[in-house]
Amino acid sequence: MDLEVSKVAVFAMYILFFALFPLNDACPRANPKSSSLNVLDFGAKADGETESSQAFSKAWDAACKTTNGIPSIMIPRGDFLVNQIILGTILAPASPSAWKVEYSPKWLTFENVNGLNIMGPGGINGQGKGWWDQSCRDHPGLALSLASCMDCSISRIHSTNSPQIHILILDSNRTKIDHVTITAPESSPNTDGIHIQSSHDITITGSTIGSGDDCVSVGDYNSDIHISDINCGPGHGISIGSLGKDGNVADVKNIFVRDVRLNGTTNGARIKTWQGGKGTVRDVIYERLKFTNVKNPIIIDQNYCDQAAPCKEQSTGVQISDVTFRDFYGTSATDMAISLICSRAVACTGIKLESINLTSAKTRRSVFSNCINAHGTIVGHVEPRECLKK
């Protein structure tokens, strides 16, 4: 299995590999004195012109051969021209203490890189079990992050058992993820498949995602996000949110989700916002979704709250408008197949339900819809019967 990183030109590259490389037969002998390996020592030049691929590969090989301590590869700030590097399967440290979280909660990070392509086949294994068993809210752990990357791609890699989010796309534009496979147990907390934040013009396609949290989650400040041809399950569906926490001003628009097959997930198409937030979520289209035994196939929750007791009603909320759910069919694991719960302060408007046929996963049971403060229109046959207000 090879994981291949290639790029045409690097403008600024800063990669932190907190990786514990597999110290097995593939990595024999040798014992470099230091376990921190700087690519400059292997002949890389930060001048933006010198081909440094060989130097990167040598640093990688040296890290692989390290027998004392946890090797890390440092790529200092600067401009490195790197064409292709072929890496093996990458394993993360299995324990959170070996992962220097005080320095960065991220494991493999590519920051400020333009035109980076990360290609499989090959994989990264976050060995997240040690994290799932402890309270991870204090210990964020992300497997692969692209931050401030323009025109980048991640293709055909397999990411498994991340401590938390498997792939994070942050502050990036014009970036594509295709044909990735993501797997983590249904019971692993916060292991979103792909999380997108503050990014624009992002495409995710042809991927199979099963995890303990959202298959894809669209966070705040995103626009023009295209998600298509996804198999999701287990997991929490394709979610927008949660947005507007602690009075934040949300700004999410032009989100297109189509051709998604959900199997055994807790949610299908979901939008969740916190009370007390501000701003908007608008122009969202979910279409051609197929459900197999999904607990909440269609759900908008404007009163999202992660505590056991109900959160206090507040006078502001994130405005949700112009959201279409179209061409949905399949089975609901619960009786409530459509749930559109909007706030009294800021109702949902422009909701469109079109050609929907959801039935119960259990024999001889009916499914229902429940709407509160949700306004919009119905087109074609919608089952269960709609409950939208005009």
Q: Which of 29, 137, 364, 381 binds ligand NAG (CB under 6 A)?
A: 381
Instruction: Decide: is 264 part of the binding site for ligand NAG (CB under 6 A).
Output: yes
Q: Which of 57, 359, 370, 373 binds ligand NAG (CB under 6 A)?
A: 359
Contact 19, 63 (CB under 8 A): yes
Run of H or E including 273: strand 267-274
Q: Which of 125, 155, 292, 370 binds ligand NAG (CB under 6 A)?
A: 292
- Rounded to a whole number of angstroms, the minimum distance from the CB of residue 238 to ligand NAG is 16
Residue 275 or residue 332: which is nearer to ligand NAG going by CB? 332
What is the rounded CA–CA span in Å between residue 139 and residue 116?
Answer: 28
Query: What residues between 161 and 220 interact with ligand NAG by CB under 6 A?
Result: 173, 200
Encoded tokens for 92? 């993360």
* Residue tagged 């959160």 (tokens): 311
Annotated active-site residue 139? The verdict is no
Instruction: Decide: is 115 part of the binding site for ligand NAG (CB under 6 A).
Output: no
For residue 104, the one-letter residue type is S
Residue 263 or residue 316: which is nearer to ligand NAG going by CB? 263
The residue count for binding ligand NAG (CB under 6 A) is 9
- Rounded to a whole number of angstroms, the minimum distance from the CB of residue 381 to ligand NAG is 5
Q: Which of 22, 60, 167 is nearest to 108 (CA)?
A: 167
For residue 273, the one-letter residue type is T
Residue 273 or residue 331: which is nearer to ligand NAG going by CB? 331
Query: What residues between 4 and 43 interact with ligand NAG by CB under 6 A?
Result: none
Instruction: Decide: is 150 part of the binding site for ligand NAG (CB under 6 A).
Output: yes
Instruction: Decide: is 263 part of the binding site for ligand NAG (CB under 6 A).
Output: yes
x-or-dash string of contact with ligand NAG, 44-83, rule CB under 6 A: ----------------------------------------
DSSP string of 250-261, one letter each residue:
EEEEEEEEEEEE
What is the rounded CA–CA span in Å between residue 114 and residue 16?
Answer: 17
- Rounded to a whole number of angstroms, the minimum distance from the CB of residue 378 to ligand NAG is 14
Run of H or E including 215: none
Encoded tokens for 279? 């701003």
DSSP string of 288-353, one letter each residue:
EEEEEEESEEEEEEEEE--SSSPPPP-S-B-EEEEEEEEEEEEEESSSEEEEEE--SSS-EEEEEE
- Rounded to a whole number of angstroms, the minimum distance from the CB of residue 190 to ligand NAG is 22
- Rounded to a whole number of angstroms, the minimum distance from the CB of residue 307 to ligand NAG is 32
For Cα atoms 27, 30, 32, give the angle at the middle one, nearest 5 degrees: 115
Report the DSSP beta bridge partners of residue 227.
204, 257
Residue 89 or residue 148: which is nearer to ligand NAG going by CB? 148
Marked catalytic residue, from 179, 200, 236, 381: 236
Residue 263 or residue 349: which is nearer to ligand NAG going by CB? 263
- Rounded to a whole number of angstroms, the minimum distance from the CB of residue 382 to ligand NAG is 10
Helix (H, G, I), strand (E, B) or coil at 132: helix
Q: For residue 73, what is the DSSP state? A: E
**Residues forming the active site:** 236
Per CB under 6 A, residues contacting ligand NAG are 150, 173, 200, 263-264, 292, 357, 359, 381
